[in-house]
Amino acid sequence: MKTKTKALIIAAVILAAVAVLLLLIPVEKKQKLYEQYGKLAENAETDEKSAYILEHAEEMPTSILEFYYTDDRYVDLVYNYPEHKDDYKTMSFTDEELNSGTIPNFYMSDLRWAYETVGGRYIFSGGCAVVSISMVDVGLTGDGYYDPVRVSKVAEELGASGFLGGVKNSEIGNICEAIGLKYNSYNFDPDEGGSGEPDEKQMKDILDSGRPLIVNTKGDTFGSHAFVIRGYDETGFIINDPASPEKSARTWAFDEFSSEILRYWEIWKE
């Protein structure tokens, strides 16, 4: 009897030990996840997108996953990466984009090309110039050949990539010329021999001739950026900002951004 009781006690102790170990495994795993992924692991407990990203984290390159930590604007792009990373292989422009009769608005975050690179940098974070050039080309030609990725390849072939990736804004005209567009360049950057603040009437005269402008700015309003001005009305200039649907949805008075313009290019197709 004593032997049987002793055996039962030993068995109970073993079972208790196993139970404790089973309880500890998730805790240890969670601790490792916290150590490896920090904020992502913490957010995954309450946020579905974060949980999905954590589940697929090992499938993502570090260069994509890092965007989760840098800026909340990029959460959706990180979230969409596993399912959409190869979208460019089957991309096409819509009939509306090709036949709009104006300059269509493309965005750097468009999943058709967001995960492709220009100068080693993802288009969704550093593709403002190539996306701007692409939308102007599509608007002027209607053929849709030069999507942002093809423009990126041309830029790289020209050696126009920036030090930190993307494209050197000063090379925008040369890239346009390389894809068959004509341009006149206007420089207002005093650090590069520019003439100072641009002329509103000159900009409107160019737009009246049917030629869009690709603008390079630096300042608090748009940051270091490139975007398209495609027209104007009585309230201000109409822009296609490849980084912001919100900024594209309103007009901009000349005085709101003119002091930040470094240069612009008048673009046309013969």
Model confidence pLDDT, tens digit, residues 220-248? 999 999 999 999 999 999 999 999 999 99
The residue segments making up the domain with residue 252 are 95-268
Per DSSP, what are the bridge partners of residue 265? 185, 214
Residue among 211, 208, 209, 225 nearest 260 (CA): 225
DSSP string, 46-68: T-HHHHHHHHTGGGS-HHHHHHH
Q: Among 23, 55, 84, where does a domain finish?
A: 84
What is the count of structural domains for the chain? Answer: 2
HSE of 211, CA atoms in CB hemisphere, 13 A: 21
Q: Among 84, 119, 154, where does a domain finish?
A: 84
pLDDT score for 30: 54
**Per-residue exposure over 182-205, b if at least 16 CB sit within 10 Å of its own CB, e if not:** ebeebbbbeeeeeeeebeeeebee
Q: Are residues 69 and 149 in the same domain?
A: no
Confirm whether 89 is domain-assigned.
no
Q: Are residues 243 and 216 in the same domain?
A: yes
User: Would the pLDDT of 164 be above 80?
Assistant: no
Q: Are residues 39 and 115 in the same domain?
A: no
pLDDT score for 198: 94
Q: Are residues 114 and 245 in the same domain?
A: yes
Q: Are residues 140 and 34 in the same domain?
A: no
Question: pTM, whole model, 2 decimals?
Answer: 0.86
**For a pLDDT cut of 90, what percent of the chain falls above it?**
73
Mean confidence (pLDDT) of the chain: 89
Q: For tokens 């036949």, name the residue.
A: 99
pLDDT band at 31 (very low <50, low <70, confident <90, very high): low
Residue 241 sits in a domain of what CATH number?
Answer: 3.90.70.10
User: Would the pLDDT of 261 be above 80?
Assistant: yes
Region 157-186: mean pLDDT is 92
Q: Are residues 262 and 225 in the same domain?
A: yes
User: Would the pLDDT of 80 be above 80?
Assistant: yes
